[in-house]
Amino acid sequence: MAPLLDPLVKNIKAIADMKQLGHKERVWANHLAAIADAAPCAGWVAAEPKTVPFIEDIKQSVEYYGNRIIKEFKDKDPKHAQWVRGLYSVIDGMRVYVKEYHMTGLIWNPKKGVATGEYKASAPAPASGGPPPPPPPPPPPAGGPPSSGAKAPADGAAAVFAQLNKGEAVTQGLRKVDKSEMTHKNPSLRASSVVPERAISPSPPTGKKPLRPSKPQALAGKKPPKFALEGTVWAIDNQEDVASLVVDQAQLNQSVSLFGCKNSTIIIKGKVNAVTLVNCKKTSVLIESVISQVSVTNSPSFTIQITGSAPMIQLDSTDSGQIYLSKESLHTEITTAKCSSINVSLPVAGEEDGVFEEQAVPEMLKTLIKDGKLVTSVVEHIG
């Protein structure tokens, strides 16, 4: 298997190296990083028995850069957002295909096939400069028994591509089922529940269905936690059940990125450029001050408290969250998209520090059509 995957591994590595170009092409840095993180999706063939979780984990990594692209070009060029969604759709399509046909790993042809060494030795060397070879001819008409000296067809990837190259001619190998072999027209077959085999077309042996991995084995693939300064970004990933993790001596040009954290508390001291939460759960963040914005994406049951100032807080695809603002951050703009159960606690004027009044972010909207345009307002319940 490893020799067959060598070209794929080299191509994935070449694409991953594109991420380094982002230091020179700053405008496309997030684009190159998203492509580099998406390339390993093709390696699902070696990720058994957890092929689907393998692809889902990669998509979460791609979404980190994809969401940054969408926010960066939100008011500049919508084509960038379309490109990101197109990249997401490619990964989603691969996940759907793998889930349907290769849920627990790559499924091989159950028939006796050709060894890897024999397959590589028999493969013709590619001609330099010439056109690609034509597809193989269609199979001979069905009905006649195969000759005794016929060679067994190749299995695995070679057989798959050979069938694809046939195109519509692949249906010429099908035969019409005789009435004597139809259970609904032959009472004797229904009684015996056995269909007689044809001597010239023995059925392949049925392979055992792979067992679903047990829970301890599934938990063994948990990603290790990370807490490191990578360039100008504090990367805080996969922190779980951490009571207090402190980012100390943060600088103005640095950002803090939280990804995949669960049931943890993060304390950010100093003034930073931005703070992002992606795919976190039950995570609390204590922030002193932010220059640009605080972004929360797909992070249910979050808590954010700002003791200094923050011009903007963006929430996307998040349910249940609590935001505490200070007197210096009352000018904050809060935007929500596909969110619910978001509460904002405001300091009470004239009271000492720590006394808040909780208010809910509206969830019900009313849209009317006026002069050919949509006019949306918040629905208020009185009484």
Q: What is the pLDDT of residues 181-214, one digit of tens each?
A: 776 666 666 665 555 555 455 555 555 555 555 4
State which of 101-115, 148-162, 171-185, 225-239 shows the largest mean pLDDT: 225-239
CB 186 within 8 A of CB 178: no
Rounded mean pLDDT of the chain?
78
Q: Is residue 123 part of a domain?
A: no
Q: What percent of the chain has pLDDT over 70?
A: 66
Has this prediction a pTM greater than 0.75? no
In the chain, the number of structural domains is 2
Confidence at residue 354, expressed as pLDDT on a 0 to 100 scale: 80
Q: Is residue 162 part of a domain?
A: no
Does residue 130 register a pLDDT over 80? no
Question: Which of 55, 76, 101 lies at the terminal end of a domain, its last residue?
Answer: 101
- C-alpha distances in Å from residue 17, one per residue of 12, 13, 84, 229, 367: 9, 6, 20, 21, 48
Using DSSP, state whether 112 is helix, strand or coil. coil
Q: Give the domain extent around 86.
A: 2-101
Asked if residue 49 has a cis previous peptide bond (ω within 30° of 0), the answer is: yes
Does residue 75 register a pLDDT over 70? yes
Q: Is residue 174 part of a domain?
A: no
- As a whole number of Å, the CA-based R_g of the chain is 29
Question: Which of 101, 132, 165 lies at the terminal end of a domain, its last residue?
Answer: 101
Q: Is residue 29 part of a domain?
A: yes
Q: Are residues 232 and 369 in the same domain?
A: yes
- For tokens 């013709």, name the residue: 124
- For tokens 């993180």, name the residue: 37
For range 125-129, the mean pLDDT: 51
* Residues 312-357 pLDDT 10s: 999 999 999 999 999 999 999 999 999 999 999 999 988 887 889 9
Dihedral sign of CA atoms 26, 30, 34, 36 in order: positive
Q: Is residue 176 part of a domain?
A: no
Q: Are residues 366 and 234 in the same domain?
A: yes
Question: Which of 58, 83, 101 lies at the terminal end of a domain, its last residue?
Answer: 101
Q: Are residues 234 and 365 in the same domain?
A: yes
Pick the residue with more confidence: 71 or 382?
Answer: 71
CB 326 within 8 A of CB 307: yes
d(CA 351, CA 347): 8
Q: Which CATH number does the domain housing residue 46 bear?
A: 1.25.40.330
Helix ranges (H only) for 17-73 are 29-38, 51-72
Contacts 24+ apart (CB under 8 A), 151-154: 152/111, 152/112, 152/113, 152/114, 153/111, 154/113, 154/114, 154/119
Q: Which CATH number does the domain housing residue 328 bear?
A: 2.160.20.70
Within 13 Å of residue 253, how many CA atoms lie on the same side as its CB?
3
Confidence at residue 150, expressed as pLDDT on a 0 to 100 scale: 44
- Label the pairing between strands 281-297 and 262-278: parallel
Confidence at residue 109, expressed as pLDDT on a 0 to 100 scale: 63
Q: Residue 181 carries which side chain, given as an amino acid letter?
A: E
Confidence at residue 148, expressed as pLDDT on a 0 to 100 scale: 43
For range 277-284, the mean pLDDT: 95
Confidence at residue 71, expressed as pLDDT on a 0 to 100 scale: 84
Q: Is residue 125 part of a domain?
A: no
- For tokens 């070696």, name the residue: 46
Confidence at residue 118, expressed as pLDDT on a 0 to 100 scale: 61
- C-alpha distances in Å from residue 98, one per residue of 9, 16, 381: 19, 22, 48
Dihedral sign of CA atoms 180, 182, 183, 186 in order: negative
- What residues pair up with 249 in beta bridges, in sequence order? none
Q: Is residue 151 part of a domain?
A: no
Q: Are residues 366 and 233 in the same domain?
A: yes
* Residues 137-180 pLDDT 10s: 555 554 444 444 444 444 555 565 566 556 566 566 666 677 66
CB 321 within 8 A of CB 304: yes
Q: Is residue 194 part of a domain?
A: no
Q: Residue 314 carries which side chain, given as an amino acid letter?
A: Q
d(CA 130, CA 260): 50
Q: For the chain, what's the residue count?
A: 383
Q: Are residues 230 and 374 in the same domain?
A: yes
- C-alpha distances in Å from residue 45, one per residue of 2, 40, 77, 99, 161: 11, 11, 36, 12, 16
